Structure 1
Amino acid sequence: MWLYDSLQEQAGTPAPKENIICDAWVDHDLFMISRYDINNVYHIHQDFMHVFLGYGLMDLNPDTTEIIFLDSDAGGIRKSHAIWKQAFSGFRTGLKHSDPNAPNVIRTIRDLASEKFEEKGNVITDAYGKTRKMRNLCLRSATFSVHGGLTLLSRQKGKISQCDDAPMLRSFADFMLTRLNLPTAFPTLTDPFNPAAPRDFRLSDLLKSTDLNVAQFVSPNVPASARLVAPIIITFLTRRPVDGRSLERTISNEYDLIKSVNSSLETLFTLNQVRRPYLLRVVDFGTIPTMREQIAIARESDILLGPHGAALVYSIYLPPHGCLIELQHPSRRNNFQFRNILALTGRDYSVYPVVDPLRNIQEIADSVAVAVAKVLERRID
């Protein structure tokens, strides 16, 4: 009520308006959003969550609803458009949607109005024979939404969340995975025995097509007849400059860290005669062609490891036994959003303060081995 009262005080009592003559109608459901930040995958996910909540509140069907951007849609991470389309905007109509060279286009409010008016010739003749330019577009079912930063992905103003369970956040993750035709992460009341990915999902063609900068695949030191097929997948999310631009929170001795992690894992797997292999890989999401593939990489990973950055938001798609290990730069020591995401979804999380170059390589490598040991106990496939 505080928001309603505040807006009412600011806006005052609306002045009476004469009846509006509708020059054109839009009959299908619309969800209009002014996005917060289109250059950052973390904030893009905040907008995804915002729309997910809006669809639930308004009982909207993503297959019969069209997303409309209220912002200019200039620049930003263009690959996110495919996610907007597949997850939220199943209704497709209009000239921009029919362009074969732009299959993932999302219309702005300007596109919507101009296309509707163009369909009717842009002018209208009134009862007195006078013509005028069309200007009144009427919407039969429309929800207007402005990102307010108040979602379960919020930064909590530098506070650690006291909540240890958020069904809504888990529902959001599974909604996104389902809409993208990827395996869900959490068991549900209607499908309690579906926590694991299909056998052919791990080391899938999608994974094999990924350009891995550094990859180490280690077979178990046990007889072939005793081996398990599905590997433990540890994904290091690197931060590297794009287009020659400078980038903070990079790790200059990253290769030394990967070597140390691999050494710790080899020791763990050899001493315990682990029956399954592991895959240790370094992935630069900046080189991954689609956001769906980025999400799939996180979903098939058992452990995500990397410096603080927007890409860690993909930890929301980890399997239930998954773990995030965050390497936190001093400039981000009061950012707890990733800790909160993992806590709210019941997964493991560790954080290590770092500077560049890394001075605590062995400590981090040992923590990865500990996390992998926990995963080995929980994996059910």
Structure 2
Amino acid sequence: MSSLWNQKESEEYFKLKKSYFRLNCRNLPHHPFKGRKHLNDWFKSVTCVADLNSTIANQINGITIAVQRYEYVNLYQTMTDFYNVFLIMILFQIPPDTINILYIDGHPAGTLDVTWQRLFGKIYRAGRMANETKFAKMIWNIQSYNCPLQNCNLRYVPYLERFRDFFLFQHEITNAKVLNCSKLSVTIIWRRDYVAHPRNPSGVIQRKIKNEDEFLESVTKLLRGHEIKAIQLDTLSMAKQLELVSETDILVGMHGAGLSHTLFLPKHGGLIELFPAYHKQWTSHFHAMTKWRRLHYVSWKNEDPRNEYPNKKTYIPTTIAISQTKKMVEKLCPQKLVYDP
């Protein structure tokens, strides 16, 4: 990775020449895509041929979904790609293990590559194909920024529970967590500095909790006898992350891509989302996920500049940790005495 330090993302996208894609057709349809999208560039590279050469040495059978990835190591952004491919899978009724994925980008290897392999069939990289390749059937994936998950104003997003079941099943997780107010499971996600991709060699990330130990202690004391866990999720494999979250009643964390796991909480679960003072208020991706899945939601945004510290750390007062946890517990278990009043 060090050889790619500070490489611009724009250098990792292909500029397709005419005839990069060739189809058996007489005439191409009119320009089908509105707005500025990579699909427009792909379409400009398509040419019609009377008969594709059947002697092409490289031939890939089955259905291949072509994907151009953006922010390829960001869990939220990649989740939109996963969901888009899932929608195509549902629409065309394709078994996931038979779906070929073709990356039409030049991104280096990333931590989420393993998840692509776990969810679908074979993975191909266009940049590593030295010879002409004939695909029996190809579908261009929806651009990630046009994914329904990106539109927080939607009242409904289809197949989310089915997407959850599919994602867990492909990772061999089939649990059916039942709410037990006498033994709640709370998972607190820590955001800590780490190097995720070559464009951030310093590894410094935003929206971290300064007083992690104090925060954890206050929640643990409030919910004595319940199961409280705190962890940096990106240190675990995706399978372990999913196993943990699928058994979690209450997920707690600063706004960030890790909260994409809201999609995999049990159907009764809830999310407590925390924001620093400098965060833009219009980003409501995870709140929207809770609405679509009919989960519970509580949030807090720091309004006191004295709680903001260097290195993008925010001090969360213990009174806030306790009050927000109480709010969520009362949503999940309104008829139960879960903690000492």
TM-score under structure 1 normalisation?
0.66
CA contact (8 A) 2:215 2:316 kept: no
CA distance change for structure 1 residues 48 and 137 in 2, over 3 Å: closer, same or farther?
same
Quote the offset at 1:324 in angstroms: 0.3
CA contact (8 A) 1:35 1:47 kept: yes
> Which of these residues, 153, 161, 173, is aligned with residue 164 of structure 2?
173
Match of 2:187 in 1: 235
Q: Give identity over the alignment, percent.
A: 22
CA contact (8 A) 1:170 1:345 kept: yes
CA distance in 2 between counterparts of 1:178 and 1:321 reads 19
CA contact (8 A) 2:268 2:332 kept: yes
Q: Which amino acid aligns with 1:50?
A: N
CA distance in 2 between counterparts of 1:167 and 1:19 reads 39
Quote the offset at 1:265 in angstroms: 2.0
CA distance change for structure 1 residues 13 and 325 in 2, over 3 Å: closer, same or farther?
closer
Match of 1:364 in 2: 321
- Cα offsets for 1:182-209 (capped at 9, x unmatched): 126xxxxxxxxxxx339xxx9xxxxxxx
Match of 2:216 in 1: 258
Quote the offset at 1:9 in angstroms: 10
Quote the offset at 1:375 in angstroms: 3.1
CA contact (8 A) 1:261 1:366 kept: no
Structure whose alpha-carbon radius of gyration is higher: 1
Quote the offset at 1:366 in angstroms: 2.2
CA distance in 2 between counterparts of 1:306 and 1:26 reads 43
- Cα offsets for 1:255-278 (capped at 9, x unmatched): 222222222223xxxxxxxxxx41
1:1-381 to 2 correspondence within 5 Å?
4=32, 6=34, 17=49, 19-22=51-54, 23-24=56-57, 25-77=59-111, 80-89=112-121, 92=122, 106-111=123-128, 113-114=129-130, 135-145=131-141, 147-154=143-150, 156=151, 161=153, 163=155, 165-183=156-174, 196-197=176-177, 231-242=183-194, 245-266=203-224, 277-288=225-236, 290-330=237-277, 331-354=279-302, 355-356=307-308, 357-358=314-315, 360-376=317-333
Quote the offset at 1:6 in angstroms: 4.8
CA contact (8 A) 2:299 2:324 kept: no
CA distance change for structure 1 residues 314 and 16 in 2, over 3 Å: closer, same or farther?
closer
Q: Which amino acid aligns with 1:63?
A: D
**Number of aligned residue pairs:** 286
CA distance in 1 between counterparts of 2:102 and 2:209 reads 39
- Cα offsets for 1:97-116 (capped at 9, x unmatched): xxxxxxxxx321244x44xx
Structure 1 unaligned blocks of 5 or more? 93-105, 115-134, 185-195, 203-227, 267-276
Q: Secondary structure at the match of 1:21?
A: coil
Quote the offset at 1:19 in angstroms: 4.0
Quote the offset at 1:328 in angstroms: 1.2
Quote the offset at 1:294 in angstroms: 1.1
CA distance in 2 between counterparts of 1:110 and 1:13 reads 16
CA distance in 1 between counterparts of 2:268 and 2:48 reads 58
Q: Secondary structure at the match of 2:315?
A: coil
CA distance in 1 between counterparts of 2:76 and 2:45 reads 38
